[in-house]
Every structure is written in structure tokens, then in C-alpha cells.
Amino acid sequence: MVAIDLKDPEARLSQTLRTTAQAMGEGQISLRELLGLVGEQGMLLFCLLLTVPFLLPVSIPGISSVFGLLILFIGIGITLNRVPWLPARLMARSFATEQLKSTLHKGADLLARLDKFVRPRLLMLTASSTINRANGLMIMLAALLLMMPFGAIPLTNTLPAWAILLLAIGMLQRDGLFVALGYALVAATLVWFAVLAVGVLMAGQGLSGLLG
């Protein structure tokens, strides 16, 4: 595997995913090796890559807690404005390259539909360190929601993953509209989880009434 230059803010993100997939070798690839492809300065891009499996009907066992934790640490790094600490044990986790290649190519097809809409705008949402710290906090919150053990329930993984994706795209491409949409999806995720909590509470009360 050879490290590739993915730092050009003008690069199409769909092509970036395809280039990353093409740069992988065969067999297994660890998350540290995947990060090596994008470079230590490509944390937002790495964050974006980690969201892709949650947006597609694919099955890669064991990704929810691992990928969610890494996104959380990246969000902490963005909030603190420093290179994040990534646990060695998590970064050593390996996955089949064929699964990841297929997922990244499907993700590239998905991002190709978004690429045409991405452009620098609403720069006040990406231009300062203060707002980027706030954006990092939103990524942290979305990562925590992504890690909640409700993956079998519709939208519980998809909504926070889309929020993280939009925030990462917006920050990478200086598109404040995408950042704002990311904030909106974090809010929608919180509402959805509140609805689920109320539903569980009401179901529990109903069951208690029947048993009582």
C-alpha cells in the first residue's frame, strides 16, 4: 500500500474514496494502515471514511463501537485543535480489504451525487477556530449517538452517520451549508432518540399494567 495525497480541498470526495480503495492491498487492512493512506493530517477525511459503512446496506461485523469510538476521538481532537489520540488497540483492528473496497466504491457512488452541490459558502461556519471547535463538539455528540446499542432500530445508525458525514464534508470543503445540515441532523437524531425513549417508557408502563 502506498500513501496517497488526499489533502486537496478542491478534490472530489467521491474520487477520493475510489483512490483510497484502489490504493489498498489484498487480504486484511488495519485501521492504522487505512489512516496511513490518508495521512495524519487527513483526520476529517478519515472520519468521513468511517461513516460510509453506516450509510449503506452492507455488513461489516464489529464496526459500530470501533468506528464510533474513533470518530469520537477525532471529534475530541478537532474540539481541542490538536492531532487526536487514537487508541492503539482500536487502530490495530483489521478488516477484509475486499469488504472495505466494495463499501468505499459504493460510498463513492453515493458521494458523487453530493459532489455537485458542494462549494465554499457560508464561510462563517467553517472559517474560525472557535466555530470549528463547536463543529468538533457536534461530531463528538453524533459519534456518541452512533455508538448507542440500537443498531437494529431504523435510523439509529443512519441519522448520526449522515450528520457526521455532512459535518466532515462541510469542514473539508468549506461549505457552511453542509455544516448547518449536519447540525440539523444531530438535532433530528436527538428527537428520534427521545421518541424511542418515550415509546419504550410507554410500552413498559403498558406491560406493567397488564401484569399488574
> What is residue 100's predicted lDDT score, i.e. its pLDDT?
85
The candidate with the shortest Cα–Cα distance to 72, out of 87, 58, 93, is 87
Mean pLDDT lowest among 94-103, 128-137, 188-197: 94-103
Tens digit of each residue's pLDDT (9 = 90 or more) over 87-113: 888 888 888 888 888 888 888 988 898
Q: What is the pLDDT of residues 161-181, one digit of tens each?
A: 999 999 999 998 999 999 999
- Closest Cα partner for 37 from 51, 17, 60, 55? 17
Return the pLDDT at 151: 65
Which pTM was predicted?
0.85
C-alpha gyration radius of the chain: 18
Q: What letter represents residue 134's amino acid? A: A
Q: Where are the domains of the chain?
A: 13-211
Q: How confident is the model at residue 11 (pLDDT cuts 50, 70, 90)?
A: low
The whole-number pLDDT of residue 8 equals 47
